[in-house]
A and B are shown apart, each in its own frame.
Chain A
Amino acid sequence: MSPKTSNQIAISMLYVIASTIVVILAALLGYIIISGLPAISWHFLTSPARAFTSGGGVGIQLFNSFYLLILTMLISFPIALGAGIYLNEYAKQNWVTALVRSAIEILSSLPSVVVGLFGFLIFVVQFGFGFSILSGAFALTFFNLPLLTRSIEEALAAVPDAQREGGLALGLSKWETVLHIIVPAALPAILTGVILSAGRIFGEAAALIFTAGQSAPALNFTDWNPFNMASPLNPMRPAETLAVHIWKINSEGIMPDAKAISSGASAVLVISVLGFNLLARFVGHRLFKRLTAG
């Protein structure tokens, strides 16, 4: 076979492979959206789930997912920002830094079940938080920290050194330079990282089964006192999220419309992730334009 023929064959093979992948992925996305959309309605998105009869919704689960996402971000963002700043601006090239970096890498590659089990052991059992949003938020923080730290570090590293020199030349201390010049300059990239990790948190379930729990007690949406048990804001109540709900009804659900509910909930999850991705692009782009007057 001449090189030209084999070239032709190989390249057409690559076309076949790439189009197979596109077909698989498009079919996957299409299936999720098309089978899920008929189930989605205002009623579905707002009403509570029913255990034995059909017609239940995912209102509480949806609220729990967002509440958990916000709490997790409130806890993990400051830590990740601090860690990212230290790693990129202060850390010297020595064995301590190398050790810390490998620790972060290990944390990012740990299976989420293991992280969830650790959260269960520490927060649910040891600290006595029980199955609660707070335990779930801490578990998700561990899950989220390595990736968020890395994306913040990369965002900071992408800021040109001239900016740092400029700040120091003006007589600012290093910390002031970081806080007033570097972080604002890296803000679009940081926000993009935050939103992308939000998508990951939103769909995570394995780390939550044994931390935030698998039940969604009824909530009273007129009671916003975080210390009341039925209040949506109470961080100590068990909170099944949307992703956990899908798993739960598929493994042990007995409502007659379990399949329709899971299709609807899956579509909601995928559309949310899509939304997070688009938002990340949009915000990063927009903010960059605004801050750089470009």
Chain B
Amino acid sequence: MNNKLQKQLLKRSKAAKLERLGKTVSFLALMLITVTVFAIIIFVASKGLSTFFSNHVNVIDFLTGKDWNPNVTNSKGQPEVGVLPMISGSFVVTVLSAILATPFAIGTAIFMTEISPHRGAKILQPVIELLVGIPSVVYGFIGLTVVVPAVRSIFGGSGFGILAGTFVLFVMILPTVTSMSVDALRSVPRYYREAALALGATQWQTIYKVVLRAATPGMLTAIVFGMARAFGEALAVQMVIGNAALLPHSLVSPASTLTSVLTTGIGNTVMGSLQNNALWSLALVLLVMSLIFNLVIRLIGRKGAMSK
């Protein structure tokens, strides 16, 4: 009798067992995500680095070479795998679209939070939320049917190129940057504005000298986030940029980005061949850039937190 009671008391209760099970299962789910991230990094890195280790391509030549033609070997007996055209293409469209989008996004965000909060919440907010969700192929298709012909008739050339890519990316990242800037502006405490207005500042002075300064880290994060999105965007850009792996010498001549070469190339190469490995190296460059954007966002966040 006593023994039985002891056993019953010392035994883990059903609830405690369930507790342990639940905690373990949810922990495993979390670990699965974490392991996946590391697996992605490790796999892409190992595939991407094999260009340099098993095909013995020089890293510097790879990053600074101007000719992308993996089927051809150059005078030094090395395959022509220079990725400078794609890297510069990616950077140019990213930076240009960010430069174009920033004033519009921040202006709209100020309008939505400071000038007309009511209309902002009623009209702009839902539209922007919807636009964040529009699939990138739809943007690409619009680019193909509207932007490319427009660029062609205004600036000449084929219409495909950096300029068309910039316009498409501008519209694509605009909603994202705007809604993140709105969040940044909304998080500025109300008494900042009240204090400025009480000192006799006009509304614009309040916005420009107080609200914008206080929201700078948040808005920088928004812009970098938009740039990261633009840099990694594949199909919409691929559809309008013309896909010629040449160094961009004008805004309306066909060019290419890292993502556009990847999407068009990876299906046409044999796994393990140099052509394929070179494409994986492009994916690795893309991955590293995405990590760098991540790091920048983190640094901005830390700096913003310290100044408070």
Contacts and interface: CB of A to CB of B under 8 A. Distances in A.
Interface of A: 3-4, 6-7, 10-11, 13-15, 17-18, 20-22, 24-26, 28-29, 31-32, 35, 78-83, 85-87, 89-91, 99-100, 102-107, 109-115, 117-118, 120-122, 125, 142, 145-146, 149, 172-176, 178-179, 196, 199-200, 202-206, 209-210, 214, 243-244, 246-247, 250-251, 259, 262-263, 266, 269-270, 273-274, 276-277
Contacts of B34: 99-100, 103-104
A205 B239 CA distance: 13
A132 B259 CA distance: 23
Interface residues of B, number: 89
Contacts, number: 259
Interface string B21-44: 111011111111110111110011
B40 A32 contact: no
Contacts of A243: 135, 137
A83 B231 contact: no
Contact of B130 (A21, A120, A259, A274): A274
Given A79-B33, A110-B287, A113-B286, A246 B28 contact: no
Give 8 nearest A-B pairs by CB, closest first: A203-B135, A111-B232, A82-B29, A17-B107, A175-B22, A18-B111, A7-B202, A86-B26
A5 to B, nearest CB: 10
A193 to B, nearest CB: 13
B128 A25 contact: yes
Tell me the interface secondary structure of chain A in the complex.
helix
7 contacts: A11-B204, A14-B115, A24-B171, A29-B131, A142-B36, A173-B15, A263-B145
B279 to A, nearest CB: 9
Interface string B202-236: 11110110000000000000000100100111110
Contact of B127 (A22, A78, A125, A179): A22
Contact of A15 (B21, B115, B201, B283): B115
Interface stretch (B61-69, B75-83, B246-254, B290-298): B290-298
Nearest to B123: A22
Contacts of A205: 135-137, 235
Contacts of A200: 133
A149 B33 contact: yes
B134 A273 contact: yes
A203 B232 contact: no
Which of B124, B134, B262 counts the most A-chain CB atoms under 10 A from its CB?
Answer: B134
Contact of B202 (A3, A117, A145, A270): A3
A3 B40 CA distance: 55
Contact of B124 (A18, A32, A263): A18
Contact of A270 (B128, B134, B234, B291): B134
B189 interface: no
Given A13-B107, A90-B26, 5 more contacts: A113-B283, A178-B22, A266-B137, A269-B138, A274-B130
A142 B40 contact: yes
Contact of B266 (A102, A175, A210): A210
A106 B37 contact: yes
Contacts of A251: 238-239, 264
